[in-house]
Amino acid sequence: MGFEIGDLLHGDLRSVIEAIGLIGIFAIVFLESGMMVGFFFPGDSLLFTAGFLASQGFFNIWVLALGSFVFAVLGDSIGYAIGHKYGKRLFSKEDSLLFHKDHLKKAESFYEKHGGKTIILARFIPVIRAFAPVVAGIGSMKYPTFVAYNLVGAFFWAIGMSFLGYFLGNVIPDVDKYLLPIIAFIILASVAPAIYHIVKEKYAK
């Protein structure tokens, strides 16, 4: 079963997840976690829907949740290493299809305001989560401190979202009928902090 990236972004996530399987899910989680190239993936709704499918017997929930956790931690760790190695040179990198300096600058601004907890908060904010570990590596955050935040953030995001979908899939009768509205709500909730941050910054000037 094939799919196009447009399906992942705007279409039937359930069909996409069934097509890509666990390996595809882990790859997307990895790329979206601090790798600067997966910022367009809908990670929150992806994990939630995969958790729901696990409740229907399509996946083993423990393999899904723990695997996503591991790859989320790895993605952030490599993002930190990229920032630590290349530093400010990334800000002079030309924009491309998968890299935009504006995203890096937004993550830097968010990091300057929220400090180390950015690594946890960013897990739930699209775009920011793909760049926050890189900014942490560029900045002054010590690696042991980063690891602690990384583990906590990955736990609540990867394991939390997977089990949320699994739990609702088990307790709500015919939950698949409400899957699209639930996913829409999750996407809205994910984007809301970023919108709030932008609006707050605008009126603070």
pLDDT winner (highest mean) among 10-19, 31-40, 83-92, 124-133: 124-133
| Domain, as residue range, for 158 | 5-204
Residue 190 pLDDT level (bands cut at 50, 70, 90): low
Q: What is the mean pLDDT of residues 45-73?
A: 92
Residue with tokens 């399509």: 58
| pTM exceeds 0.85 for this model | no
| Token couple for 155 | 């736990």
Say how many domains are in the chain. 1
- Rounded CA gap, 138 and 33, in Å? 16
Q: What is the mean pLDDT of residues 122-135?
A: 80
